[in-house]
């Protein structure tokens, strides 16, 4: 047999042996992965629910909190980089928190540090120089605290790791777009596209800054309205009619009542749509206030509303309808009768 033929056969045999060995290794890994996959799913679901409760307790609004477990192929493709993939791969279970404001990220990071055993943490944006922009996110590798295992849901999960990522909506949007571009790092990007990508990333970062500025401005505006009412013990009827001033007016009229936000918005939309001002509201209430108890009792009997909805917002709505005498052609028959009754009682019609 020629030397070249022997060499070819030897390589083929070696390749077959290696392929066979790889199949055995893959099957073995798959078997082990299948044994623990449900535990990682259980861990992800439990961490997700715990984080939602922590965020709600901290009054931190979030867009979404969710988890995922790597599929086996993804795990296997990554496993050849590690000697002990089950212990060294730290994102088999991944949890993602998507919040609205960049200024909330520090609060969320504190919660994670306080509530979990943090093994590792990283602010991905730290890798950029001051004049560079790109994918931003905060990553934590965590384990649950031993005390959690007292609850049945967390039993036997103390040795499993999870990666938690914290992003704003704009960070998440940019990360998703960047992922679709298929560039894993800055060095992979063709030079002709680097400036464009950097500029787009900078715009997403600016959006986060502007959202925080906007939120702070709104909160300052709402506080100014409230402070002015406290200082003067009165309400300026000449000010702009918007949802913030209307909410403040409701609190001024009935400071001990807890208002349903949906009902506030619904009432405001009705009033705004009929060009109602604070002066009109006051004039309406001056007429109906002496009969408030009886009016609300009548209102509570209507099938159109739940009893818990009947409060000051609907009393204002009802009062304005009595005072302004708008066209009720498209309203409920029972409501029409009630308006007619109280117009008669108040105006002696």
pLDDT tens profile 134-167: 456 789 999 999 898 888 888 889 999 999 999 9
CATH topology of domain 3-209: Beta Polymerase; domain 2 (3.30.460)
Q: Which of 56-60, 208-212, 329-333 has the lowest mean pLDDT?
A: 329-333
The rounded distance, in Å, linking the Cα atoms of 151 and 156 is: 10
pTM of the predicted structure, to 2 decimals? 0.76
Which CB contacts under 8 angstroms, 24+ apart, belong to 116-119? Answer: 116/140, 116/142, 116/143, 116/144, 116/145, 116/164, 117/142, 117/143, 117/144, 117/145, 118/142, 119/90, 119/143, 119/161
DSSP letter for 123, please. E
What angle, rounded to 10 degrees, do the helices at 169-180 and 191-232 form?
Answer: 170
Mean pLDDT of all residues in the chain? 84
- Which H or E run contains 43? helix 3-57
Q: DSSP 3-state assignment of 60?
A: coil
Measuring CA to CA, which residue among 168, 173, 142, 143 is closest to residue 156? 143
pLDDT, tens digit (0-9, with 9 covering 90-100), for 205-263 = 888 999 999 999 999 999 999 999 999 999 999 999 999 999 999 999 999 888 888 88
Domain locations in the chain?
3-209, 235-347
Cβ 285 vs Cβ 319: under 8 Å: yes
Position 35 pLDDT exceeds 70? yes
Is 80 exceeded by the pLDDT of residue 36?
A: yes
Averaged over 118-136, what is the pLDDT? Answer: 62
Percent of the chain with pLDDT over 90: 44
DSSP state at residue 182:
T
- How wide is the angle at C-alpha 149 spanned by C-alphas 143 and 150, nearest 5°? 155
């Amino acid at each position: 047999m020629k030397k070249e033929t022997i060499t070819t056969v030897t390589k083929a045999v070696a390749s077959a042996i290696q392929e066979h060995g790889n199949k055995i290794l893959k099957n073995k890994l798959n078997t082990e992965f299948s044994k623990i996959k449900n535990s990682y799913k259980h861990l992800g679901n439990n961490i997700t629910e715990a984080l939602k409760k922590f965020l709600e307790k901290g009054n931190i609004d979030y867009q979404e909190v969710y988890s995922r477990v790597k599929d086996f192929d993804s795990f296997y493709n990554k496993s050849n980089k590690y000697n002990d993939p089950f212990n060294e791969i730290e994102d088999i279970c991944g949890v993602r928190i998507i919040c609205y404001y960049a200024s909330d990220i520090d609060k969320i990071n504190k919660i994670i540090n306080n509530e979990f055993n943090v093994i590792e943490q990283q602010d991905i944006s730290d890798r950029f120089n001051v004049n560079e922009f790109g994918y931003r996110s905060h990553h934590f590798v965590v384990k649950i605290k031993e005390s959690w295992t007292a609850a049945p849901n967390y039993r036997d999960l103390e040795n499993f790791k999870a990666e938690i990522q914290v992003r704003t909506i704009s960070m998440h949007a940019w990360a998703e777009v960047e992922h679709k571009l298929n560039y894993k790092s800055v060095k992979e990007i063709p030079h002709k596209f680097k400036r464009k990508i950097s500029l787009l990333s900078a715009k997403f970062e600016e959006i986060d800054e502007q959202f925080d500025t906007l939120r702070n401005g709104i909160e300052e505006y709402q506080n100014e309205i409230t402070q002015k009412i406290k200082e003067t013990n009165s309400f300026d009827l000449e000010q702009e009619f918007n949802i913030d001033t209307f909410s403040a007016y409701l609190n001024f009229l009935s400071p001990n009542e807890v208002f349903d936000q949906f009902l506030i918005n619904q009432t405001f939309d009705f009033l705004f749509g009929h060009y109602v001002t604070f002066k009109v509201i006051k004039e309406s209430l001056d007429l109906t206030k002496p009969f408030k108890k009886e009016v609300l009792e009548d209102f509570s009997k209507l099938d159109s509303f739940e009893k818990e909805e009947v409060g000051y917002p609907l009393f204002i709505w009802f009062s304005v309808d009595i005072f302004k005498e708008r066209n009720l052609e498209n309203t409920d028959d029972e409501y029409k009768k009630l308006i007619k009754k109280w117009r008669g009682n108040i105006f002696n019609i």
